[in-house]
Amino acid sequence: MIRPTTGVTSTKAILAERALPPMRTDVYRGAVVRGCVALWFGVPFVAAAFACGPTTSVAGQSDGGTGDAAGDDDDDDDDDDDDVTSGPGLDTSADGGSDESTAATVDVCGDGMVTGNEACDDGNTDNADGCSALCQISGTLLWSVPFDASPQGFAVGLDAFDGNAYPAIQIFEGNLEPSILLGHVDREGTLLGETLDVGGLSDIGLARQPVAAVPGGEVMAGYTVAADDAPYRVLARLEVGGGEAWTHGADDWGVHYATIVLVDWVYVLHAKGDDLVVDSFTLDGEHTAELSLGLDPTQHRPFVRGAMLARGLPSLGVFTVQPEGAIEFHYALSPQANPTWFTDPIGTAPEGSMPRAFFDGQKTRIWTETELITMDMLDHLESIVPRPVPGEVLLSFSAGYATVDGAEVRVFGPQDGLRWTHTSEGQPQYARTDGSAGLFVLADDGVDGNAATLSYLVL
């Protein structure tokens, strides 16, 4: 049995090791051991765009459940407190020369009166409290989009930007040939694009946070695509449903721990030999820096989720945990100018466990098996409290947080009260807010399955 990679060797060596002979591999995804078939390599990159169209199954009414919102590149839900209106606007009319006029009723979400297309109105525009900021009932499933992962495949990543979701699904075809299926779905449930990235490989031992959304229906693809006679592709900007804008190749990168877009820069945290390294790029593909942290990834293990976060600050931060459980935050104030890295201890986790970190637009929250650690916008340690609920945390956002137990998604309010639950199709693996009043959830039916489903729930 091949163990999950430790990040102290190159990706080419990892793939060569895994390719002979074909066999099963056990990989650790969060707190769940998931099997993975042995990996095949040697196929050059091919981006195959597929015809796209609405393949949406709709549950219930979605009228009034969506709307324009400010751009959102990660987990935050900053628009929760905005005044949101729906329904017809004010219409006045006069009858000939008469002085009388009639004003039509205006549907105002948050005024405490259920009118027009509103499904509820609890007198506020908060999300996750039973009635969303768009006056739809929290937990309502508005639509689901299925993705065919046959003959074998499972979900490996999800990002969202400006009301659009970008799921990533690992597929093994034919003689166990790997590919990454990338999708682009808007908040209305329309499948806008789909690309099969042949040769793409992402599991917990090779790539975490493998996709980062950028404007215009494109993603940064932070995973390995193997090649026989060229450096492996380790990063690319891809139009989902189109082709490559640019690529970057390297043979000495190990595990991809995180890929993020921060302002006008792309950062990839990866192993290189016995060091943790952050490579930076412009959005146009210029490789601007290789920033060594001087840390052994076997002793300072990047988080399984949230090792790097796209936060509001221009500084760059990396979260690691030592084998005995010490949690560290490494940060550089000027990541484009040969930075000095600083390290702050921020807590402990049970030995051998793997914490998760999320940024909700205002605060960073680190979840261990026993505690919830909160950092403020300036990266100051704010609080350490006992973990309020059990279960695997899918997402922390400004209106609360979502956990998963089997197929059930549970959403809690900021004061830790259970607000609503939803039973998903398959096992939920990833979640992102849409920047307004919705939650994208990507589920699959197990590593031995052949399908994944992206759903949209009312917050």
d(CA 332, CA 335): 6
The helix (H) or strand (E) run that includes residue 318 is strand 316-321
Choice among 78-87, 310-319, 374-383 with the minimum mean pLDDT = 78-87
Average pLDDT of the chain? 80
Q: Is 44 helix (H, G, I), strand (E, B) or coil?
A: coil
Per-residue pLDDT tens over the stretch 31-50:
232 333 333 433 333 333 33
Integer Cα distance of 434 and 187 in angstroms? 7
Contact 259, 220 (CB under 8 A): yes
Phi, psi of 176 (to 5 degrees): 65, 30
Tell me the average pLDDT across 357-381. Answer: 94
Is the per-residue pLDDT at 449 higher than 70?
Answer: yes
Q: How far is CA 126 from CA 84, 220, 358, 432, in A?
A: 10, 32, 20, 17
Residue with tokens 């996750």: 128
Q: Which of 236, 237, 262 is nearest to 249 (CA)?
A: 236
The span from the CA of 392 to the CA of 369, in Å, is 9
- Contact of 327 with 349, CB cutoff 8 Å: yes
On whether the CB atoms of residues 366 and 357 are closer than 8 A, the answer is yes
Tokens of residue 104, six digits: 């039509």
- CA distances (Å), origin 291, targets 247, 279, 281, 357: 19, 6, 12, 22
Write out pLDDT tens, residues 59-74: 433 333 323 333 344 4
Length of the chain in terms of residues written: 459
Model pLDDT, residue 334: 75
- Range of 51-55, 97-101, 323-327 with top mean pLDDT: 323-327
Q: What pLDDT sits at residue 192?
A: 97
**What is the tens place of the pLDDT at every residue in 237-294?**
999 999 999 999 999 999 999 999 988 899 999 999 999 999 999 999 999 999 999 9
Could you give the 3-state DSSP secondary structure of residue 11? helix
The string of pLDDT tens digits covering residues 171-209 is 998 777 899 999 999 999 999 999 999 999 997 678 999
Interval 48-62 mean pLDDT: 37
